Amino acid sequence: HTTTTTARASSSVLTPLVSFDARPSAPDTHTMSAALSAAPSFTALARQTRALTSRRPHSANATAVPRPVVPVFRVSAAGADAATTTTATTPTRNWSKCPEPAVVAPGSELEALLHVSNLVYDTKRCVNEYGELGKQAATVSAAILLATLMSNTKDVGALEGAMVYEPCTLEECAMDEDARLECVIDKAFVNLGAMMAERVEGLVSVEVDVHAAHDPEQIVARARRMRDMFDELGVSRDKILFKIPGTWQGVQAVEALEKEGIHCHVTLVYCLEQAAAAARAGATLIQVYVGRVRTWYKSRHEQAVKNHLGDAADPGVEFVRQTCAFIKSNGLKSKVIAASVRGRSDVLALAGVDYILLNDRIIAELNDKVSSVSGASGPLEDQMASATCPDHMTEDLAWIDQGAFETALRNSAAMEYLENGITGYVSAEEQLKEFIKQKMPPPNV
């Protein structure tokens, strides 16, 4: 079908994309068995996906893979009095469970926000659809790969190609079945990441072995291996972020990888010491969680005081403000993405953060509200411009060793939520492994 969108006003573009933290619910055993039964045969798919297993360098003469043209949220660059029409043609599909493309309303809070922050459309409910149609960024994780395999779309080739990838054979893995399975998962992540890189204009975040969250050497080894796999497929290194939990060991791995030019996305960050350590390590992107931090401190005023958030009207928002202020005042390169954003008031308080992760409900609410900014198409006030980090905290953060880091975790929301997050990621990866084991061909195939 063809979708035509007409919009007015400024130069910003908001496009639907895969969430940086999309985690679809795990399938039940019955559903998984049904999907396995319905999945195309290994032999047929292996023949179709040999291209994903080859060690071919990127060729300037190679035939370009056409990118899908997609429905977009767009505001015209021609000004408030001009109109522009964007036509997007996509294959017919069932959009009943996904938000419809929308127009950014001239003079709305959404339009004003686009002048000061990049908006990341959180599409947890539509991982597969927006995995194909997203235009700005994407994430590859165990949960998303499993959802892709369960959906039985053409992207199942990411796994089928990985299972016939020569370096992942038992012989190449020293006859170690566990090593073979890890290799297949890494290659499947890379194959799916390469597909996403062809479909989105922005970055693709790829999860690194979550079992290694406390093992810096293993994190570095797995990220390097996947980097080399992306190189084989001709994917630009500047297109990929490796997503690593914000443990002390994870931060050490990030520092080593960033020095090699391997860009990292540090996730599960819930306290200023975590954020500061990740920024000093050179992390390209740091993901912080507004609503979860607020909820944790709501009944823990003593901890809020200890962490210099006790006088804040909103500890979650203040945590983000202090993070942005610390990065800016120290001249560090890291960008911040605010997740766990729960309502319009959160968004307005976060205006000016590099990236804000929003769901369709909040986007619609912002789009319906007329901005209080004087003048048509004016930006919202950059709330991060006035953000500060307490002087004594700046001194404390000048040097963070492992002991201070882990004490900060225990005295904040970080310990609980970080470990819960890692546990969730590990659970998803274990389910993915069980799925793959049932599909894995015998060693002699």
Q: Please say if 243 is a catalytic residue.
A: yes
- Cβ neighbour number for residue 133 with a 10 Å cutoff: 27
**β-strand 79-89 against 264-269: which pairing, if any?**
unpaired
> What is the C-alpha to C-alpha distance for residues 349 and 190, in angstroms, rounded to an integer?
37
265-297: b or e for each residue (b if 16 or more CB lie within 10 Å)? bbbbbbbbbbbbbbbbbbbbbbbbbbbbbbbbb
Query: And the tokens for 153?
Result: 């779309």
Q: At what angle do helices 402-410 and 414-439 cross, to 10 degrees?
A: 100
Give the HSE-up count for residue 24: Cα atoms under 13 Å, Cβ half-sphere: 27
Could you give the angle at the alpha carbon of 166 between the alpha carbons of 163 and 169, nearest 5°?
A: 65
**β-strand 118-121 against 355-358: which pairing, if any?**
parallel
- Cβ neighbour number for residue 36 with a 10 Å cutoff: 14
Which residue of the set 135, 187, 239, 243 is catalytic?
Answer: 243
Q: Would you say 239 and 198 are in contact if contact means Cβ atoms under 8 Å apart?
A: no
In angstroms and rounded to an integer, the radius of gyration of the C-alpha atoms of the chain is 22
Smallest Cα–Cα separation from 405: which of 273, 286, 275, 250?
A: 273
Q: Would you say 73 and 101 are in contact if contact means Cβ atoms under 8 Å apart?
A: yes
Query: And the tokens for 405?
Result: 């880091």
Distances (CA, A) of 342 to 262, 275, 291, 349: 32, 21, 6, 12
308-323: b or e for each residue (b if 16 or more CB lie within 10 Å)? bbeebebbbbbbbbbb
Distances (CA, A) of 242 to 225, 227, 258, 269, 283: 11, 9, 10, 15, 10
SS (H, E, C) 293-316: HHHHHHCCHHHHHHCCCCCCCCHH
Active site residues: 243
